[in-house]
Chains A and B, each alone.
Chain A
Amino acid sequence: MPHDVATPAETELNVAVLVSVGRHPLTARARRADQDARAVEMALTLPDADVRLIHAGRHDDDSDSALRGYLGMGLASIGLLEQPSGADVVPALAAVLRDASPQLVLTGARAETGEGSGLLPYLLADWLGWPIVTGLAAVESVEHGMATVLQALPRGQRRRLRVRLPAIATVESSAPAARQSAFGPARRGGFDPETRDGVRDDALSEWHVQPARKRPKRLKIVKAASARDRFKAAAAKAQGGGGQVLEGATPEQGAEAIFKLLEEEGVVRRS
């Protein structure tokens, strides 16, 4: 559904965002999922994009208020595929996407409820035969059926990728934060129900699920033959060991040694 009905331009980019019902980490209440909301935000900031939201799952009171969180970001409606709870939503979503044929599908990297394995985008990509890119930080440009995107790497680094469209891209918490959800649009927005046959996920119901246990903290075990070695290991200051010391060298020689190390580690950029 176009969120901006006024200008249906010719070059419009067709974007579908897959959204799920999240769960607040502390209160456990249903809410819009954080990563999915970031995906919606990214889609809404794309120029000339026709954004369409799709949710597959049950529609009840809880999920209604959570899904309205997305509508409150400024969308008129959400496409809703009613599925029983605990269903495998991949076949239904793949069928819908095949029919709608968007150029870009955005979604959060993993769900906040259920198995939360983050496998769904990969399965969809495999079903549809589209490429998939993870950790999207920004879409720079879309032209000639190719998108140039920035991928967020650990440590705040970015990598530029070019992907052939149509493609699926997942968004993690490194993407820009989602805008607030406004109450008025959230009330006004509606749902476009669509029915697809659900497939039960039998394996999931066979697993034993319990609230997460705290993981045991790893102890530092010192394997030493004698008490003296164990004491030394426990009381030792950081001693590096085997470090190279350049003493009495000229500043140029010192700088050269440092430069060599920096280059070996690949931290100095070429330009």
Chain B
Amino acid sequence: MSDIVRRDPRREWIARNRLHPEHLAVRVDPHGTASPSEWPGPNGLTRRNPRAVGFIGPNGIKRIDRSGAQQAATQSGGRQAQPKDTRRRVDIDAPDFLVAVVPDMPGGRLSSHDRDLLGMARQLADADPERPGAVLAVVFVEPREAAFDEAGIDRLLSLGGAGEDGGGDARFDGYAPEARVAALQAVERELAPRHWLLPDSALGGADLGRRLAVRLGERPATQVWQIEADAVSETDWRCIARGAAGGTDMTRPLPRVAMALAECAEPVSETRHAARPVELTQGPPQVLARIEDLGAVAVDPAGVALGEAEFILSAGNGVKDWEAYHRAARILGATEGASRVAVDDGFMPRDRQVGATGTWVTARVYVAVGISGAIQHLQGIQSCEKVVAINLDGGCDMVKRADLAVIGDAGEILAALVAMVERYREQQQENRDAA
């Protein structure tokens, strides 16, 4: 809905006319919006009803919010339920040059490292407003909830994705650095970006970027953490990069290929970009792969350090049947975590405690079973991406934090979940046997 206030002269007239039969109904709401505390009186004066100001707070006490936020909310009804997106839209039609970024996108989402890198790409692209560049993102995985436009991407080259059904290319799935580098070389030939930026992250951009630089015959800058404009340098930019295992800072001209550390620049927050899809005319070339990915190896989740674990099943005071809980963790293949109460009561070892006085975990998926979500515990799971809560109490803080909360008895839900996973595995096994 637009924010334009629509006036209705007839209703205003009725509101001024005390003798009109509809006056009482209209007086309450002269603009068709609910604002019972203020209305224009019959002589053009504004009338106020001080008793209608404010709202009833959670404790039954009347609160008056003078910041204007409350007023705005009541005046425009449901209109402001969604905060308006004030970000400027940017669509670069004819870019002067391209800045290519190859984000890691673990799990199909832009990581914070990727966003920082895109912020740096924007610095390069937007330096000269007369001749703006465009940021091209080359993506090898199937994106999920990836807000490309918000991250500052003007052009999007999507090469990966689901193998058979999605029309993407299964060649790039898993560890396929050779196919990926060949595709990047094809991008280089067709689009010739002025800069190549990759995240210097283990097994992601660090590997790919070095391969690309060697193939392009460029001497890359690695572990870059800052770039500055520099008129003397060939590329108009210089960068500061870490060297000697983090022991030195090297200031050097920014080469065409650079791999940057996390927090190398501020991520884009004030603009939205077009993220227009682009395609290669020839498609990425076929390469003879000398490295074959045989898939992930099952590691013992109990052996993974808590702070490193990707998937944690965490138990709190709400867990009653500990045998069943341990079994669930084993079958789900999750690393075990615990709240302080579970540790203090002796059900879990101390090194499994999550939270302010335990471990700060970075799991992608964190399942909290019977944990109320005390602030000391929530601090420890700040950087978890998806939080699932299983709790009897629908109003507890963990449920507020969770992306998915299931209200019910932890024992029953865990048992159902374990049964479901076992059934799923059996089916998979049968399918494999049948094939």
In whole angstroms, how far apart are the Cα atoms of A44 and B402 in the complex? 49
In whole angstroms, how far apart are the Cα atoms of A125 and B252 in the complex? 26
Q: Are B206 and A118 within 8 A (Cβ)?
A: yes
In whole angstroms, how far apart are the Cα atoms of A252 and B166 in the complex? 31
Residues of A close to B175: CB separation below 8 A: 151, 159, 161
Complex interface bits, B215-231 against A, C-beta within 8 A gives 1, otherwise 0: 10001111101000000
Residues of B close to A162: CB separation below 8 A: 291-292, 294
A150 interface hit (Cβ, 8 Å): yes
B333 interface hit (Cβ, 8 Å): yes
A172 interface hit (Cβ, 8 Å): yes
Question: What is the minimal beta-carbon distance from A158 to any residue of chain B, in angstroms?
Answer: 4
Question: What is the minimal beta-carbon distance from A178 to any residue of chain B, in angstroms?
Answer: 16
| Interface positions of A from 240 to 271, Cβ below 8 Å from B | 240, 242-249, 251-252, 254-259, 261-262, 264-271
Residues of B close to A133: CB separation below 8 A: 291
In whole angstroms, how far apart are the Cα atoms of A156 and B244 in the complex? 25
Q: Are B388 and A261 within 8 A (Cβ)?
A: yes
Q: Are A243 and B402 within 8 A (Cβ)?
A: yes
Residues of A close to B215: CB separation below 8 A: 126
B435 interface hit (Cβ, 8 Å): no
Query: Contacts A161-B293, A162-B292, A244-B403 known; A122 to B214 CB distance under 8 Å?
Result: yes
Query: Contacts A154-B203, A258-B413 known; A226 to B67 CB distance under 8 Å?
Result: yes
Q: Are B394 and A212 within 8 A (Cβ)?
A: no
Question: What is the minimal beta-carbon distance from A217 to any residue of chain B, in angstroms?
Answer: 9
Question: What is the minimal beta-carbon distance from B154 to any residue of chain A, in angstroms?
Answer: 22
Q: Are A247 and B290 within 8 A (Cβ)?
A: no
A135 interface hit (Cβ, 8 Å): yes
In whole angstroms, how far apart are the Cα atoms of A267 and B408 in the complex? 23
Q: Which of B2-10, B51-59, B305-313, B318-326 contacts A (4 or more CB under 8 A)?
A: B305-313
Q: Are B291 and A131 within 8 A (Cβ)?
A: yes
Q: Are A254 and B291 within 8 A (Cβ)?
A: no
In whole angstroms, how far apart are the Cα atoms of A119 and B400 in the complex? 47
Q: Are A118 and B210 within 8 A (Cβ)?
A: yes
Residues of A close to B221: CB separation below 8 A: 117
Residues of A close to B308: CB separation below 8 A: 154-156
| Interface positions of B from 184 to 218, Cβ below 8 Å from A | 202-203, 206-207, 210-211, 213-215
In whole angstroms, how far apart are the Cα atoms of A155 and B223 in the complex? 21
Q: Are A119 and B214 within 8 A (Cβ)?
A: yes
B120 interface hit (Cβ, 8 Å): no
Q: Which of A1-9, A52-60, A180-188, A203-211 contacts B (4 or more CB under 8 A)?
A: A203-211
- Nearest to A221 among chain B residues (CB) is B266
In whole angstroms, how far apart are the Cα atoms of A24 and B159 in the complex? 43
B404 interface hit (Cβ, 8 Å): yes
Question: What is the minimal beta-carbon distance from A81 to any residue of chain B, in angstroms?
Answer: 21
Residues of A close to B290: CB separation below 8 A: 131, 163-164, 167
Question: What is the minimal beta-carbon distance from B284 to any residue of chain A, in angstroms?
Answer: 19
A213 interface hit (Cβ, 8 Å): yes
In whole angstroms, how far apart are the Cα atoms of A153 and B412 in the complex? 35
Q: Identify A251's interface contact among B310, B404, B409, CB under 8 A.
A: B409
In whole angstroms, how far apart are the Cα atoms of A72 and B291 in the complex? 34
Q: Are B203 and A252 within 8 A (Cβ)?
A: no
Residues of A close to B362: CB separation below 8 A: 155
Complex interface bits, A213-247 against B, C-beta within 8 A gives 1, otherwise 0: 10100100001001111000000011110111111
Q: Are A265 and B222 within 8 A (Cβ)?
A: no
Q: Which of B37-45, B343-351, B421-429 contacts A (4 or more CB under 8 A)?
A: B421-429
Chain A CB count within 10 A is highest, among B220, B378, B408, for: B408
Complex interface bits, A93-133 against B, C-beta within 8 A gives 1, otherwise 0: 00000000000000000111111111100110110000111
Residues of B close to A163: CB separation below 8 A: 290-292
Q: Identify A111's interface contact among B202, B244, B425, CB under 8 A.
A: B244
- Nearest to A210 among chain B residues (CB) is B249
Q: Are B251 and A156 within 8 A (Cβ)?
A: no
| Interface positions of B from 362 to 414, Cβ below 8 Å from A | 362, 364-365, 367, 375, 378, 382, 386-388, 390, 394, 397, 399-409, 412-414
Residues of A close to B144: CB separation below 8 A: 264
A134 interface hit (Cβ, 8 Å): yes
Q: Which of B22-30, B91-99, B273-281, B295-303 contacts A (4 or more CB under 8 A)?
A: B295-303
Q: Identify A159's interface contact among B206, B244, B296, CB under 8 A.
A: B296
- Of the A-B pairs whose beta carbons lie under 8 Å apart in the complex, a sample of 22, sorted by A's number, is A28-B247, A111-B244, A115-B244, A122-B211, A125-B214, A133-B291, A134-B203, A151-B203, A155-B310, A156-B305, A157-B299, A157-B310, A208-B252, A211-B248, A211-B249, A228-B67, A247-B407, A251-B413, A254-B413, A258-B367, A267-B310, A268-B424
Closest 10 CB pairs of A and B: A255-B416, A254-B406, A156-B304, A255-B417, A251-B412, A131-B290, A160-B294, A267-B311, A207-B252, A228-B67
